[in-house]
Amino acid sequence: MSDFTLGELDREGALQESLAGVWGCTRADFLGKAVVGGGALLGALAAPWEAGAAGAVTDSQILNFALTLEELQAAFYTESERSGAVRGKLRLIPRKLGAVERAHVAAIRGVLGRKAIKRPFFNFRGVTESQDAFLRTAVAFEDLGVTAYKAQASRIDSPAVLAAAVAIHSVEARHAAWMRYLVGVTPAQRAFDLGKPEGEIRSIVASTRFIVSSPNQTGRGSPRFTG
Protein backbone atom coordinates (compact mmCIF):
# COMPACT_ATOMS: atom_id res chain seq x y z
CA MET A 1 0.00 0.00 0.00
CA SER A 2 1.24 3.51 -0.78
CA ASP A 3 2.04 5.90 2.04
CA PHE A 4 -0.98 7.34 3.77
CA THR A 5 -1.59 10.91 2.66
CA LEU A 6 -4.12 13.54 3.60
CA GLY A 7 -5.29 13.69 0.03
CA GLU A 8 -6.50 10.12 0.26
CA LEU A 9 -8.26 10.62 3.58
CA ASP A 10 -9.73 14.05 2.98
CA ARG A 11 -10.25 15.03 -0.65
CA GLU A 12 -12.01 18.31 0.08
CA GLY A 13 -9.80 19.44 2.95
CA ALA A 14 -12.63 19.80 5.47
CA LEU A 15 -11.06 17.40 7.92
CA GLN A 16 -7.72 19.19 7.67
CA GLU A 17 -9.31 22.54 8.33
CA SER A 18 -11.27 21.41 11.35
CA LEU A 19 -8.42 19.56 13.03
CA ALA A 20 -5.38 21.59 11.99
CA GLY A 21 -5.16 23.06 15.46
CA VAL A 22 -4.87 19.60 16.95
CA TRP A 23 -1.73 18.73 15.02
CA GLY A 24 -0.22 22.20 15.04
CA CYS A 25 0.47 22.17 11.32
CA THR A 26 -0.74 23.79 8.15
CA ARG A 27 -3.44 22.53 5.82
CA ALA A 28 -0.75 21.45 3.35
CA ASP A 29 1.21 19.14 5.65
CA PHE A 30 -1.56 17.91 7.99
CA LEU A 31 -1.37 14.10 8.17
CA GLY A 32 1.14 14.05 5.36
CA LYS A 33 4.11 13.40 7.37
CA ALA A 34 -14.58 -1.11 27.83
CA VAL A 35 -17.92 -1.33 26.83
CA VAL A 36 -20.49 1.08 28.32
CA GLY A 37 -23.08 -0.70 30.45
CA GLY A 38 -25.21 -1.77 27.51
CA GLY A 39 -28.28 -2.87 29.41
CA ALA A 40 -28.51 0.28 31.50
CA LEU A 41 -27.93 2.51 28.50
CA LEU A 42 -30.54 0.72 26.42
CA GLY A 43 -33.06 0.98 29.23
CA ALA A 44 -32.44 4.69 29.66
CA LEU A 45 -32.87 5.30 25.96
CA ALA A 46 -35.97 3.16 25.59
CA ALA A 47 -38.03 4.68 28.41
CA PRO A 48 -39.24 7.87 26.69
CA TRP A 49 -39.98 6.07 23.43
CA GLU A 50 -42.21 3.52 25.06
CA ALA A 51 -44.09 6.36 26.71
CA GLY A 52 -44.47 8.26 23.45
CA ALA A 53 -42.76 11.33 24.85
CA ALA A 54 -43.07 14.66 23.10
CA GLY A 55 -40.27 15.51 20.75
CA ALA A 56 -39.61 11.86 19.80
CA VAL A 57 -39.29 12.75 16.12
CA THR A 58 -36.58 15.30 16.82
CA ASP A 59 -34.80 12.92 19.12
CA SER A 60 -35.00 10.13 16.53
CA GLN A 61 -33.32 12.35 13.98
CA ILE A 62 -30.56 13.18 16.43
CA LEU A 63 -30.11 9.52 17.34
CA ASN A 64 -29.89 8.54 13.68
CA PHE A 65 -27.23 11.19 13.17
CA ALA A 66 -25.32 9.74 16.12
CA LEU A 67 -25.89 6.25 14.74
CA THR A 68 -24.20 7.17 11.47
CA LEU A 69 -21.07 8.24 13.34
CA GLU A 70 -21.15 5.19 15.61
CA GLU A 71 -21.51 2.84 12.62
CA LEU A 72 -18.56 4.58 10.96
CA GLN A 73 -16.38 4.19 14.04
CA ALA A 74 -17.48 0.62 14.72
CA ALA A 75 -16.70 -0.46 11.16
CA PHE A 76 -13.36 1.33 11.23
CA TYR A 77 -12.18 -0.36 14.43
CA THR A 78 -13.59 -3.75 13.45
CA GLU A 79 -11.84 -3.68 10.11
CA SER A 80 -8.61 -2.45 11.71
CA GLU A 81 -8.70 -5.35 14.16
CA ARG A 82 -9.24 -7.86 11.38
CA SER A 83 -6.47 -6.45 9.22
CA GLY A 84 -3.90 -6.98 11.97
CA ALA A 85 -2.00 -3.84 10.99
CA VAL A 86 -1.88 -2.53 14.57
CA ARG A 87 0.74 -4.55 16.40
CA GLY A 88 2.85 -4.75 19.53
CA LYS A 89 1.57 -3.01 22.63
CA LEU A 90 -1.09 -1.21 20.57
CA ARG A 91 -2.66 -4.30 19.02
CA LEU A 92 -5.55 -4.43 21.48
CA ILE A 93 -6.72 -0.87 20.74
CA PRO A 94 -8.94 -1.73 17.75
CA ARG A 95 -10.56 -4.57 19.70
CA LYS A 96 -11.24 -2.50 22.80
CA LEU A 97 -12.55 0.57 21.00
CA GLY A 98 -14.42 -1.52 18.47
CA ALA A 99 -16.29 -3.34 21.23
CA VAL A 100 -17.38 -0.03 22.72
CA GLU A 101 -18.52 1.45 19.41
CA ARG A 102 -20.43 -1.74 18.52
CA ALA A 103 -22.17 -1.50 21.90
CA HIS A 104 -23.17 2.08 21.10
CA VAL A 105 -24.54 0.97 17.72
CA ALA A 106 -26.53 -1.88 19.27
CA ALA A 107 -28.00 0.35 21.96
CA ILE A 108 -29.08 3.11 19.57
CA ARG A 109 -30.48 0.65 17.03
CA GLY A 110 -32.37 -1.12 19.79
CA VAL A 111 -34.12 2.12 20.67
CA LEU A 112 -34.81 3.37 17.16
CA GLY A 113 -36.11 0.04 15.89
CA ARG A 114 -37.68 0.54 12.47
CA LYS A 115 -36.79 4.24 12.59
CA ALA A 116 -33.10 3.41 12.43
CA ILE A 117 -31.17 4.14 9.26
CA LYS A 118 -29.81 1.22 7.25
CA ARG A 119 -26.21 0.31 7.94
CA PRO A 120 -24.00 2.20 5.48
CA PHE A 121 -21.35 0.64 3.27
CA PHE A 122 -17.76 1.66 3.90
CA ASN A 123 -14.48 1.96 2.07
CA PHE A 124 -11.68 3.10 4.36
CA ARG A 125 -9.27 3.32 1.45
CA GLY A 126 -6.41 1.52 3.13
CA VAL A 127 -6.18 3.48 6.39
CA THR A 128 -7.07 0.34 8.36
CA GLU A 129 -4.00 -1.43 7.00
CA SER A 130 -1.37 0.96 8.34
CA GLN A 131 -0.73 1.46 12.05
CA ASP A 132 0.23 5.11 11.64
CA ALA A 133 -2.79 5.84 9.46
CA PHE A 134 -5.03 3.98 11.91
CA LEU A 135 -3.87 6.04 14.89
CA ARG A 136 -4.21 9.40 13.18
CA THR A 137 -7.61 8.54 11.73
CA ALA A 138 -8.74 7.31 15.15
CA VAL A 139 -7.85 10.70 16.64
CA ALA A 140 -9.86 12.47 13.95
CA PHE A 141 -12.86 10.16 14.39
CA GLU A 142 -12.94 10.42 18.17
CA ASP A 143 -12.58 14.21 18.11
CA LEU A 144 -15.44 14.43 15.63
CA GLY A 145 -17.61 12.18 17.77
CA VAL A 146 -17.03 14.31 20.85
CA THR A 147 -17.86 17.56 19.08
CA ALA A 148 -20.93 16.04 17.42
CA TYR A 149 -22.49 14.82 20.67
CA LYS A 150 -21.68 18.09 22.39
CA ALA A 151 -23.48 20.17 19.74
CA GLN A 152 -26.58 17.96 19.80
CA ALA A 153 -27.03 17.94 23.58
CA SER A 154 -29.04 21.16 23.70
CA ARG A 155 -31.38 19.91 20.96
CA ILE A 156 -32.47 16.73 22.74
CA ASP A 157 -35.95 16.90 24.29
CA SER A 158 -36.06 13.74 26.38
CA PRO A 159 -34.10 13.88 29.67
CA ALA A 160 -33.48 10.12 29.45
CA VAL A 161 -32.11 10.35 25.92
CA LEU A 162 -29.96 13.32 26.97
CA ALA A 163 -28.55 11.36 29.92
CA ALA A 164 -27.68 8.43 27.66
CA ALA A 165 -26.12 10.71 25.03
CA VAL A 166 -23.96 12.39 27.68
CA ALA A 167 -22.90 8.93 28.90
CA ILE A 168 -21.72 8.09 25.38
CA HIS A 169 -20.12 11.51 24.96
CA SER A 170 -17.90 11.05 28.00
CA VAL A 171 -16.69 7.69 26.68
CA GLU A 172 -15.89 9.22 23.29
CA ALA A 173 -13.96 11.96 25.09
CA ARG A 174 -11.89 9.34 26.91
CA HIS A 175 -11.21 7.63 23.60
CA ALA A 176 -10.12 10.92 22.06
CA ALA A 177 -7.76 11.70 24.93
CA TRP A 178 -6.28 8.19 24.75
CA MET A 179 -5.68 8.33 21.00
CA ARG A 180 -4.21 11.83 21.23
CA TYR A 181 -1.79 10.68 23.92
CA LEU A 182 -0.65 7.71 21.82
CA VAL A 183 0.24 9.89 18.84
CA GLY A 184 1.89 12.57 20.96
CA VAL A 185 -0.82 15.23 20.82
CA THR A 186 -1.86 17.15 23.95
CA PRO A 187 -5.14 15.56 25.11
CA ALA A 188 -6.70 18.92 26.05
CA GLN A 189 -5.29 22.13 24.65
CA ARG A 190 -8.06 24.50 25.75
CA ALA A 191 -10.09 25.07 28.88
CA PHE A 192 -13.35 24.91 26.91
CA ASP A 193 -14.49 22.96 23.85
CA LEU A 194 -17.26 23.87 21.44
CA GLY A 195 -19.40 21.42 19.51
CA LYS A 196 -19.74 21.30 15.74
CA PRO A 197 -23.18 21.57 14.08
CA GLU A 198 -24.58 18.55 12.26
CA GLY A 199 -24.07 20.07 8.83
CA GLU A 200 -20.38 20.64 9.44
CA ILE A 201 -19.87 17.13 10.81
CA ARG A 202 -21.65 15.60 7.81
CA SER A 203 -19.50 17.66 5.45
CA ILE A 204 -16.32 16.47 7.13
CA VAL A 205 -17.40 12.83 7.04
CA ALA A 206 -18.47 13.12 3.40
CA SER A 207 -15.11 14.62 2.45
CA THR A 208 -13.29 11.48 3.58
CA ARG A 209 -15.31 9.34 1.12
CA PHE A 210 -15.29 6.54 3.69
CA ILE A 211 -19.07 6.05 3.35
CA VAL A 212 -20.07 4.69 -0.06
CA SER A 213 -23.44 4.09 -1.66
CA SER A 214 -23.21 0.40 -2.53
CA PRO A 215 -21.25 -2.77 -1.71
CA ASN A 216 -19.70 -2.57 -5.18
CA GLN A 217 -17.73 0.45 -3.96
CA THR A 218 -16.29 -1.16 -0.86
CA GLY A 219 -12.91 -1.82 -2.40
CA ARG A 220 -12.87 -5.60 -2.48
CA GLY A 221 -9.32 -6.82 -2.45
CA SER A 222 -7.83 -3.54 -1.26
CA PRO A 223 -8.38 -2.90 1.54
CA ARG A 224 -9.10 -6.54 2.19
CA PHE A 225 -11.63 -6.22 4.98
CA THR A 226 -13.81 -3.30 3.96
CA GLY A 227 -17.56 -3.85 3.76
| Class of CATH domain 37-217 | mainly alpha
Residue 72 has pLDDT above 90, yes or no: yes
Q: Residue 209 class from Cβ within 10 Å (0-12 exposed, 13-18 middle, 19+ buried)?
A: middle
Residue 131 has pLDDT above 90, yes or no: yes
pLDDT at 218: 59
How far the first Cα of the chain sits from its last, in Å, is: 18
Is this prediction's pTM over 0.85? no
Query: 200-226: per-residue pLDDT in tens?
Result: 888 888 888 898 887 766 555 444 444
Query: CA nearest 142: which of 15, 26, 11?
Result: 15
Range with the poorest average pLDDT among 29-38, 67-76, 174-183, 190-199: 29-38
Query: 133-192: per-residue pLDDT in tens?
Result: 999 999 999 999 999 999 888 888 888 888 888 999 999 999 999 999 998 888 887 888
Range with the poorest average pLDDT among 14-18, 65-69, 79-83, 219-223: 14-18
Could you tell me which residues come within 8 angstroms of residue 81 by beta carbon, excluding any fewer than 6 positions away?
Answer: 94, 95, 98
Q: Where are the domains of the chain?
A: 37-217
